[in-house]
Structure 1
Amino acid sequence: MTDFTKEINNCIEVLTQGGLILYPTDTVWGIGCDATNETAVKKVYRLKQREDSKALICLVANDAMLERHVEKVPEVAYDILDLATKPTTIIYDSPIGLAKNAIALDNTMAIRVASDKFCQYLTNKFKRPIISTSANITGDPTPRSFNEIKDHILKGVDYIVNLHHDKKNGPPSSIIKLGNDGTVKVIRE
């Protein structure tokens, strides 16, 4: 079994039990959990010392998984994702099947279709969306690499992926809000 497969399997075991993982995403090192598990999502808020009224991002493996967790994916979303030159997070109206405490107060959810191999395999094999939030305490700068992640975060997760510890973060994802009424708003380029 390759290290890659072993890491995916270890993550799935922790996620299935409601635990937290620290993992390399397509943008930054992230804290993750099962996005359908309210208790696990609560642990993320607690670890980040973040109010649970502040929404989180979740990763999905592909368009099919996205469609299972959003009531109606606007057609323009597919165009945006196809044309994107960097990871792009889209905020959708009316998410379904996700933990209530992961959804914003206005009934929206920020979802990114994973663009790197590790996150795609992980979410695909787990068969559920995974929370993806930066590996820092709320208000602190986002660590630029694994070596900058503070002890509080390292000790607060149940599993740390043993891959890409030498990788520098990529650019943060673009964030675009799409309303079911046809509105498009760029939150972060």
Structure 2
Amino acid sequence: MVTTGRLIQAARIIKNGGVVAYATEYCFGFGCDPMNRSAVLRLLRIKRRTSDKGLILIAADVDQLDSYVDNIPAPVLATWPGPHTWLLAPRAGVPGWIMGKHPRIAVRVTAHPQAAALCRAAGMAIISTSANHSSGAPTRSYRETLRRFKGEVDYVLPGMVGDASAPTPIRDAASGELIRLG
């Protein structure tokens, strides 16, 4: 388990506009403050990914998503916390750099203990995208993440990924359509 000091350090970096890597359900992820445009664009540069694809937000609890969505249907709530990412209608004013070219926003209330603790420590939902360069394999360990991205991100939070065998599935809450198989 990561020390409280390291968790606070990672949260402070996020709140100050930095990019961190941290463990999630399946792999290490890159995260930053979703409302900080320069942090999000830097994260996309690190990934070597265009902004049109959109990004996932993770939260420790549903309340952390209030700035991003107005209505979370009961069937969606029933899957959280857990490894289920949903596409929901965004609240008015959600920045385009989060959603990319999509009309909906991807959100998840994570059950991964450390990822949830990071969201709580930062006091916000954070970006969660796999720690990799676009089209490359994501990192699945602290050491691999440190080796591949130490000079690119501001901090790599020590931790262990969950036991998921694949990235979280993504479903459209309006249609029920499976967008990404887990």
TM over 0.5: yes
Q: Please, which runs of 5 or more residues in structure 2 have no aligned partner?
A: none
Q: What are the equivalent positions in structure 2 for 1:3-152 lying under 5 Å apart?
A: 3-81=2-80, 87-95=83-91, 98-149=94-145, 151=147
- Could you list the structure 1 runs, at least 4 aligned residues long, displaced by more than 6 angstroms after superposition: none
Deviation at 1:134, TM superposition (A): 0.8
The equivalent position to 2:164 in structure 1, one of 164, 170, 181, is 170
Task: For residues 88-143 of structure 1, give each alpha carbon's deviation from its aligned partner in whole angstroms, at most 9, with x where no partner exists.
Answer: 11111124565430113233111110102111121122121111111110011223
Deviation at 1:156, TM superposition (A): 0.4
Q: Give the share of equivalent positions with the same residue, in percent.
A: 25
Aligned pairs, how many?
180
Residues 12, 122 of structure 2: 8 Å contact kept: no
Residues 27, 169 of structure 1: 8 Å contact kept: yes
Residues 24, 162 of structure 2: 8 Å contact kept: no
Residues 59, 114 of structure 1: 8 Å contact kept: yes
Is the alpha carbon distance of 1:150 and 1:127 closer, same or farther for their aligned partners in structure 2, counting shifts above 3 Å?
Answer: closer
- Which SS does the other structure have where 2:85 is aligned? strand
The equivalent position to 1:186 in structure 2, one of 145, 158, 178, is 178
Deviation at 1:68, TM superposition (A): 3.9
State the distance in 1 between where 2:149 and 2:91 align.
Answer: 28
Is the alpha carbon distance of 1:127 and 1:99 closer, same or farther for their aligned partners in structure 2, counting shifts above 3 Å?
Answer: farther
Structure 2 counterpart of 1:11, which letter?
A: A
State the distance in 2 between where 1:168 and 1:68 align.
Answer: 27
What's the RMSD between the two structures over aligned residues?
Answer: 2.3
Q: Please, which runs of 5 or more residues in structure 1 have no aligned partner?
A: none
